[in-house]
Amino acid sequence: MRRRRFVRGACTSCHGVDRVNDARYSPDRWRVVALDMRQRGAKLTDEELERLVEWLGRMKGTNPNQ
């Protein structure tokens, strides 16, 4: 639950949560996306970015059953 709030706070300041929920990326691709979003203004420390990438890779990875 805490991670979901974190994702909403980090990601939805610029776009809807559906954009994240509909995506299926490998952890490496999530890292590229998160770094790009940070360059565009997302407020993420290095530690937060890594936690976010790990969680997204596990929960929103390339497996459609996730």
Does the pLDDT of residue 58 top 80, yes or no? yes
Q: Which two tokens stand for residue 22?
A: 């509909």
Compute the distance between CA of residue 7 and CA of residue 11 in angstroms, rounded to an integer. 6
Q: How far is CA 23 from CA 45, 47, 64, in A?
A: 22, 22, 10
Q: Is the pTM of this model over 0.75?
A: yes
Between residues 3 and 58, which one has the greater pLDDT? 58
- What is the average pLDDT value for the chain, to the nearest integer? 84
26 phi and psi angles, rounded to 5 deg: -70, 160
Q: pLDDT at position 1, please?
A: 44
Write down the pLDDT at residue 39.
93
Query: What pLDDT was estimated at residue 46?
Result: 93
Correct CATH for 2-59 of 3.90.320, 1.20.140, 1.10.10, 1.10.760: 1.10.760
Q: Please tell me the predicted confidence (pLDDT) of residue 2.
A: 65
Gap between the Cα atoms of 51 and 58, Å rounded = 11
**CA dihedral for 55, 60, 62, 66, sign (positive or negative):** positive
